[in-house]
Amino acid sequence: MNQINRRKFLALGTLVGAGLSVPSFAIPHTFSVAERKFRISLHPFAIGVKSDQKKLLEQAVNHSFEAVIPIPDQIKKMDATALESLLGKMQEKGLTWDAAGLPVEFRKDNATFLEGMKELPGIAKALQSANVTRMNTWIMPSHDELTYSQNFEQHKQRLREVAKVLHAHNIRLGLEYVGTKTLKIRNRYPFVGTMKEMLELVDAIDVKGVGLQLDSFHWYCSKETVDDIKGLKNEQVVTCDLNDATAGRSVEEQIDGERQLPGDSGLIDLKGFVGGLIDIGYDGPVRAEPFNRALNEMEDDKALAATSKAMWRTVNLV
């Protein structure tokens, strides 16, 4: 998978081992598509499922997903015939694209950033040829050496260069704020970790197509409200994750790498969150990214079924 994985970056310890309710099949979806514009997407790597770009289509259809993630390095390697075949199958099965993960490492030294930027135009061109229009990445909410203002300036400059390349290929960039206090205090200097702060960074980057990657978990950890979502416009939200928090922990004690499938703990007001997305007419993908050990250890079909059930259960709350 050609993107920067937060779990590997943070080198987090053992993930939550709580059991999950596993359905034998994905529940029928009764939620009226006319009432929502967003699409339920499958991100297999976020739930420990093995897949590739072609296999993903079959997995999505079998488990009632409506969209799939693009895998940039695999799409880039496809010739015109293979790509045409893939897109034809997606259209036939009624599947659309989720956002691709940004493959540029912008959090480390400048040499690493520049090396990643060399590859980005070719990747963006390949994604554009596949009609992929969204990309996303996450922002670390603290730093050991850079103060808030220094880190803000570095992110502004680097992500502006990224966004310019993507915009030239009709690809929007979604930036995810990480709201967990445990990560905000992990390093010496706290950084962007709320919706308002991320919107300030988006404004400073000042490139068309840059917006938010919302995550119900970080929305909850940042103590934000449904009104915060309703204050957004559809064009400000590029992609979205639906997750739940871990029971037995306060908001301040939540850990980024230990989450639940949406609705499994009931701690997060997912009905309000989803209702907010519907209210603003959000028309992008929603997906689960629980970073959950029990889910990751399941057989692929069981993990897919559990995820599908949780996602449809959540969108049907409204």
Beta strands in 11-162 (DSSP E): 39-42, 67-68, 96-97, 100-101, 134-139, 142-143
CA distance 170 to 317: 34
Would you state the torsion angle of the CA atoms of residues 303, 309, 310, 314, taken in this order, to the nearest 10 degrees?
A: 160
Give CA separation, 5 vs 21, 49, 161, in Å: 26, 15, 21
The residues spanned by each domain of the chain are 6-12+37-315
The confidence score (pLDDT) of residue 97 equals: 98
The confidence score (pLDDT) of residue 297 equals: 96
- Which residue type does 262 have? P
The confidence score (pLDDT) of residue 1 equals: 46
If you classify domain 6-12+37-315 with CATH, what class do you get? alpha beta
pTM for the whole structure: 0.90
Q: Name the helix (H) or strand (E) containing 198.
A: helix 195-205
Would you state the torsion angle of the CA atoms of residues 317, 136, 8, 262, taken in this order, to the nearest 10 degrees?
A: 0
The pLDDT profile of the chain, 318 residues, written as one tens digit per residue, is 445 565 555 544 333 333 344 333 334 444 444 489 999 999 999 999 999 999 999 999 999 999 999 999 999 999 999 999 999 999 999 999 999 999 999 999 999 999 999 999 999 999 999 999 999 999 999 999 999 999 999 999 999 999 999 999 999 999 999 999 999 999 999 999 999 999 999 999 999 999 999 999 999 999 999 999 999 999 999 999 999 999 999 999 999 999 999 999 999 999 999 999 999 999 999 999 999 999 999 999 999 999 999 999 999 998
